[in-house]
Structures are given as C-alpha cells and as structure tokens.
C-alpha cells in the first residue's frame, strides 16, 4: 500500500533546489500531475515529487490553493530507502524536535519554541511552551491533516496540562483554511501566566498575546540588552519603540538603566508593560508608558530636543512579500533616521527587521542610508538574530527571518 496519492512531475531544470533539500515546490515549477488510482490529489494529501526525467525526489504535502503547491515531507536518496509518510514519521519528528531543545530548559527559562516548522521537518507546525501549557499553530493544509497525531504526540512527549491553538493568522487562507483558536486539549491556560527569563519575569496571555502569546524569538536579544546596560549603561535613558509588553525595557532596567520609555500604539500592551515593570520591582518613574504612533512620536521627541543613550526599534513586519519591500525599506529607514537624531554621542541604536523580504545586507544598507541622512557617523558592533530554539535548517534560509543591528553613533 502506497502512502501517496499522485505523482507531481517538475519542469525541466526545476529540481535543483529539491536536490539541495529545500522544502518548497512552487506552482510555477510543476509540469503536470499524474493522478493515481484515487484520482487527483486532494488538499493535504501526500504526493510523490519527480524530476522531469522521472527520478523520485521525495514526498510532499499537496496544497492546491497555495503558491507553494507542495511542502516536502521526505527527500529520496540512492543510499537509503524511501521513508513512509505516516503517523510514525510525524511522531518521531515531534519527539526529536522537543528532545533536541531539552538542554535549553531550566528554572530560569520556562518558555521556548519546541517545534519550528520546516526547520524541524514539520512544515507549517509551530509549537511554543509556556510553563505547563503549549500554544500551537497549524499553518498549512499538510500539517492540518495530521492534527490528531500531532496533539497526541505533544501530550505524550511533554506531559503538558493543556494545549491551546493560535491558528488565528491570515496565512491559513492561502491554504484554504479558516482562522481558528481555542483550547484543543486538557486545561485552558490562565488568562495571564508568568514566564521566567534569567532573573526577569513576564506576564503572558496565550489566548490574546501576539503570535502564540509572546515574542520568544527575542529571548537571547533581551538578555543581550540587559548585559549591555550592565556593562556600560548604568544610568542610561532608554527609548523602547514598538515596545509591546515591555520586554526589552525590563531587560534594560534589570541591567541598570535609569529610565525606560516604552512606546506602542496598543493601550492593552502598555498596560501589560506597566504590570511587567511592577512584577519585576520597578517603579512607574523608571518604566514610562506612552501610547502613540511611533513614527509621529519620534518626530515629536526631536522637536522637544529629547536625547537617549539607547534606542531599540523592534517594529512589526513591514513586508509580507517581496512586492512590498520598497515600502518596507522606506519605513525602516524613516524610523532609524529619526532615532539617530535622538541619540546622544556614543549612544546605541538597536534596530530589528522581521520581514523575510528584507535580508541582512539590504537591512544594513537601509540603516547606513538612514544614519547618513541624519548626518550621524557610526559603526556596527553587533549582529543579532533569533534565539537558538528557532533553528535555521541548512537548506532553508527562509527560516532566518529576524535580523538585528547594533550600532554605536559618534
């Protein structure tokens, strides 16, 4: 009995990326579909992918409504037998992903990413752990087909109290799926639970927080900010833009900064930022919350001749596709230029991009142009990325989406 329903034949010369084990097959690479005994493949079915010459390259999940028509489950090689795509494969990959991250867990790190999609051989599946609860996203029709298997394997491997789904993301519509969220197994998580990062604590809402509840990808970078302030930022004044619930601000204060100004458009996020400051023992005068449009507020601060020793820019994704990169580039440049006007001599600018369409060389160029227009000189002293629980598969550079620059201005 076969585990695939049809053969997908690629156009001539379009198999190179699959030979390198890149996991995506785009619609434009497909020449034809040879239906099996069951007829044409349905959404989520496993299909076999062949080169134009008929060589079997591997097996993939079929997604007829997405530009990424197939996401590879397995890759064939002459030296090994073809893997079956079945419950056992899904279970083994979940087990491997979770156990690989076991050394990262401790009493001082109670939240981390357990499964990161393609980088863990599970395209479209994201699972984060917050204490005794899991928060997950089923982003593709392929992994949606294995939903029950995934849930059962997560229970068995983690012993969690409950699993909550946060598939309330627009990307699902490209897979022919509706957005959805809610408890899918066990206990419902509390409205607010506390996670630990080193000597810091943060309140997290799994049900209503951003992404799966929080920005776990910035774990290492928050610690980096704390260490920077501890080394040379005693008595610094810090501006934390797009602050969300104040994660970087708490890190700066924990390192010894004198005051942090958190700026965000969301009132609930700023209320959480104030609660997080209090949770960590900081006074209202140390953690100031400003509800404002960051682009406009930076200009107001310039008019008021305000100055800061450290400015952090961690905006939301400005570009979802390559077609939007010019607009995104202008936005990244604008906020970096305005921030440069506000930095005192010797001050630090830490700016991030999570837009996949903006790679690191382009992001560095955008930042350099911004400082040039602000008539400021500076140098990059560090490059930042996502934490190690968000690994990047060697053949899948798209998994490295978070880019950060640390610049010191003269």
CA 250/CA 366 separation, integer angstroms: 28
pLDDT at 38: 62
343: tokens are: 């930095």
Which residue, 356, 390, 192, 166, is CA-closest to 276? 192
What strand order describes the sheet that includes 162-167? Answer: 111-116, 125-130, 133-138, 162-167, 180-186
Q: Is pTM beyond 0.75 here?
A: yes
Q: Is 136 marked active-site?
A: no
3-state secondary structure of 371: helix
8 Å CB contact between 222 and 293 = no
Q: How far apart are CA 164 and CA 155, in angstroms?
A: 12
Residue-level pLDDT at 78:
65
Q: Where are the beta strands (DSSP E) in 139-258?
A: 162-167, 180-186, 193-197, 200-204, 237-241
From the list 155, 163, 162, the residue with the least C-alpha distance to 138 is 163
Closest to 366 (Cα-Cα) out of 382, 353, 383:
353
Low-confidence spans in the chain with pLDDT less than 70: 1, 36-39, 78-81
Contact of 238 with 310, CB cutoff 8 Å: yes
User: Which sequence spans correspond to the domains of the chain?
Assistant: 6-75, 87-194, 215-409
Strand 237-241 with 308-313, pairing? parallel
Catalytic one among 160, 229, 241, 354?
Answer: 354
- What is the CATH code of the structural domain delimited by 87-194? 3.30.750.80
What's the topology of domain 215-409? Rossmann fold (3.40.50)
Q: What pLDDT was estimated at residue 396?
A: 97
Choices 2.30.130.10, 3.90.380.10, 3.90.120.10, 2.40.50.140: CATH for 6-75: 2.30.130.10
Length of the chain: 410
36 dihedral zone (left: phi>0; alpha: psi -120 to 50; beta): beta
Strand blocks (E) in 66-161? 68-75, 111-116, 125-130, 133-138
- Residue 326: predicted pLDDT: 87
Question: Quick check: 309 and 237 in contact, CB under 8 A?
Answer: yes
CB count, 10 Å around CB of 394?
10
Give the chain's radius of gyration (CA, Å): 23
């Amino acid at each position: 009995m076969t585990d695939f329903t049809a053969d997908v034949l690629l156009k001539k010369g379009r198999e190179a990326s699959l030979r390198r084990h890149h996991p995506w097959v785009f619609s434009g690479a497909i020449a034809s579909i040879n239906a099996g005994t069951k007829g044409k493949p349905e959404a989520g079915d496993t299909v076999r992918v062949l080169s134009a010459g008929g060589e079997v390259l591997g097996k993939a999940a079929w997604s007829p409504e997405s530009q990424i028509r197939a996401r590879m489950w397995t890759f064939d090689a002459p030296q090994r037998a073809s893997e079956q795509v079945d419950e056992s494969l899904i279970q083994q990959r979940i087990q491997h992903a979770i156990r690989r991250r076991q050394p990262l867990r401790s009493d001082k790190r109670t939240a981390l990413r357990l499964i990161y999609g393609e980088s863990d051989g599970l395209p479209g599946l994201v699972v984060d752990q917050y204490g005794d609860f899991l928060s997950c996203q089923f982003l593709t029709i392929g992994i949606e087909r294995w939903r029950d298997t995934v849930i059962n394997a997560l229970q068995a491997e983690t012993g969690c109290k409950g699993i909550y789904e946060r598939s309330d993301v627009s990307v699902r519509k490209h897979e022919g799926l509706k957005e959805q969220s809610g408890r899918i197994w066990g206990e419902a998580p509390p409205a607010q639970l506390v996670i630990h990062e080193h000597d810091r604590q943060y309140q997290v809402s799994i049900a209503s927080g951003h992404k799966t509840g929080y920005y776990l990808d910035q774990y290492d970078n928050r610690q980096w900010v704390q260490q920077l302030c501890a080394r040379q930022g005693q008595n610094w004044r810090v501006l934390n833009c797009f602050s969300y619930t104040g994660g970087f601000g708490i890190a700066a204060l924990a390192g010894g900064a004198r005051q942090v100004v958190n700026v965000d458009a969301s009132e609930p996020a700023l209320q959480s930022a104030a609660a997080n400051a209090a949770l960590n023992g900081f006074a209202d005068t140390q953690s100031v919350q400003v509800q404002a449009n960051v682009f406009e507020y930076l200009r107001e601060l310039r008019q008021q001749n305000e100055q800061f020793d450290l400015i952090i820019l961690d905006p939301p994704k400005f570009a979802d596709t390559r077609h939007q990169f010019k607009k995104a580039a202008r936005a990244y440049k604008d906020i970096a230029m305005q921030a440069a006007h506000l930095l005192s001599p010797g001050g630090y600018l830490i700016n991030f991009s999570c837009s996949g369409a903006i790679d690191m060389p382009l992001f560095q160029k955008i930042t350099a142009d911004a400082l040039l227009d602000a008539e400021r000189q500076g140098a990059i002293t560090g490059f930042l990325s996502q934490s190690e629980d968000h690994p990047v598969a060697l053949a899948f550079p798209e998994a490295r989406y978070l880019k950060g620059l640390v610049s010191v201005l003269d």
